[in-house]
Structure 1
Amino acid sequence: MELAIGIVAAYLLGSVSAAIIVCRVMGLPDPRLDGSGNPGATNVKRLYGNKPAAITLAGDFLKGVIPVIIGHQLQWAPLDIILLGFAAFIGHLYPVFFGFRGGKGVATMLGVMLGLAWPIGLAVIGAWLFVAKVLKISSLSALIATFLAPFFWYLYGADSSWIWITALMTAILFWRHRSNIGRLLRGEESLIKKKAESKD
C-alpha cells in the first residue's frame, strides 16, 4: 500500500509542469502554443530566454530527484525506489494536470539518475554537457547521455532493476524524440543557441 501511494504521489509531482507554471507566473505565453509546442526547458529558452528556462530546468530536474531521495530515506528496496522515479518521469511526459501533454523527460530522467546515485547522475549529466558543448545540439546531447545511462549503471554494479528500468526510460525518451531523430538524420536539427523558431 505504501508503494502504491508513493507511486501515485510521484506521478502527481511529475505532472506539475514547470514550464507552464513558470511562464504563467512570469506573464509569458504558454510554451505549448509556440515554437515546438513542447513544455520543456529547451523550448522555453528559445522562446523566452535563459532565466525562465533555467527555472524550468531546475523544476523538472527536482521532480526526478525528490521522490527517489524520499525512497532512499525510507530505506525502500532498490526496485521500489526507481519505480518512484519512473512514476515521476511518466508524470512529466503525460501530466494529468495539463491534458496529458508534457515534455520529453530529459531533465526529469537526469534528476532520477542523480537521486539514485550521485556518481552516476553526474556521469550522465557530464555526458550531456560534453556533447552539448562540442556539438551544440540539445536533442543529440540528451540521446547520447541517456543511451549511456544503463551502461553506467552496469559498470557501477547497480541493482539489475535500476539497469532495466533506466533502459526502459531511455527507450521511451528516444520515442519521444523520434521527430528530432528524423531531423538529425536529415541534418536539419536546430542548434542550442539558435534563436529561430524551434522544432525541438
Structure 2
Amino acid sequence: MIVSTLLLALSAVLVSYLIGSVPAASWLARSRGVDIRRVGSGNSGATNVMRALGKGPALLVAAFDILKGALAVWLARALGLPPEWVGLCGVAAVIGHNFSPFLGFKGGKGVATSFGTIAALDPGVGVAAFVMGVATMSLTRHVSAGSLLGGLAAAIVVVALGRPLWLMAVVLGLVALLVWQHRPNIGRLMAGKESRIGEKVR
C-alpha cells in the first residue's frame, strides 16, 4: 500500500513537471514566425511575448502559464495525495516551466506558473501576491518589480497567517526561485536600465 501510494505520488510529480514544461510562449511565438528565445530577454514567458508580439498573445500565454500551476495542484488533489505532495506537484510544474525539456531545459522565470500554484494552494496568499504585483507594475511600469514584490508579499502573508509548515516551505521556495531567476533584472532595476511595460523589442 505504501509503495503504491509513493509510486502514485511520484508519477503525479512527473506529470506535473511535464504539464509545466509545455512552452506556450515559444510555440505561440513560433506560430507567428518569431523565435522567442532570440528576441528581448530570450525567456519563454508572457512578458517577452508582450514585448515581441503585443498584449493579446501575452494574455493568452499568461493565462495558460497560470493554469499550468493550478492544474498540477488540482490533479494532485483529485488523486487524493497528502497536502505535502500536492505542494510538491505545484513546485514541479514551476520547475518544468523554468527548465523545459522542449527548450533544452531552459524556459521562463516562473512568475505566472508560481502564481497559479500559490493561488490554487491558498487563494488568500494568492490574492495578496496579485494585489501587490499589479499595484507595483502600475506604479513602476516594471513587470520584474511587480513580480518580485508580489512574491515578497506572498512570502510575508503565508508566514504571518501561520500556515502549515509544508505550505510555508512551498511558497518560500517558489519565491526564492523567482528571485534567483530575476538576478539580471534586479541588476538592471538597480542601474535604472530595466525595460518598462509597453516597450517593444527587435
C-alpha deviations, 1:8-59, integer Å up to 9, x for none? 000011110110121233x231111111111111111011101111111111
Question: Take 2:81 and 2:182, find their aligned partners in 1: how far apart are those partners?
Answer: 32
Q: Which amino acid aligns with 2:182?
A: H
What RMSD in Å do the two structures reach over aligned CA positions?
A: 1.3
- Match of 2:107, SS state, is coil
Q: Which amino acid aligns with 1:8?
A: L
In structure 2, list runs of 5 or more residues that go unmatched: 1-6
Q: Name the counterpart of 1:88.
A: 93
Q: Name the counterpart of 1:106.
A: 111
**Counterpart selection for 1:156 from 122, 145, 161:** 161
Question: Take 2:189 and 2:88, find their aligned partners in 1: how far apart are those partners?
Answer: 31
Q: Name the counterpart of 1:186.
A: 191
C-alpha deviations, 1:51-94, integer Å up to 9, x for none? 11111111111110001122233332221111000000000010
Q: TM-score, normalised by structure 1?
A: 0.93
Deviation of 1:156 (Å): 2.9
C-alpha deviations, 1:127-175, integer Å up to 9, x for none? 1111111111110110111122122112333211111121111111111
Question: Take 1:85 and 1:95, find their aligned partners in 2: how far apart are those partners?
Answer: 15
Deviation of 1:196 (Å): 4.6
Question: Take 2:28 and 2:201, find their aligned partners in 1: how far apart are those partners?
Answer: 22
**Counterpart selection for 1:7 from 9, 13, 17:** 13
Question: Take 1:24 and 1:194, find their aligned partners in 2: how far apart are those partners?
Answer: 21
1:64 aligns with 2:77: no
In structure 1, list runs of 5 or more residues that go unmatched: none
Q: Which amino acid aligns with 2:25?
A: A
Q: TM-score, normalised by structure 2?
A: 0.92
Q: Name the counterpart of 2:48.
A: 43
Question: Take 1:174 and 1:99, find their aligned partners in 2: how far apart are those partners?
Answer: 22
**Counterpart selection for 1:125 from 114, 124, 130:** 130
Q: How many pairs align?
A: 196
Q: Name the counterpart of 2:4.
A: none
- Match of 1:35, SS state, is coil
Q: Which amino acid aligns with 2:39?
A: D
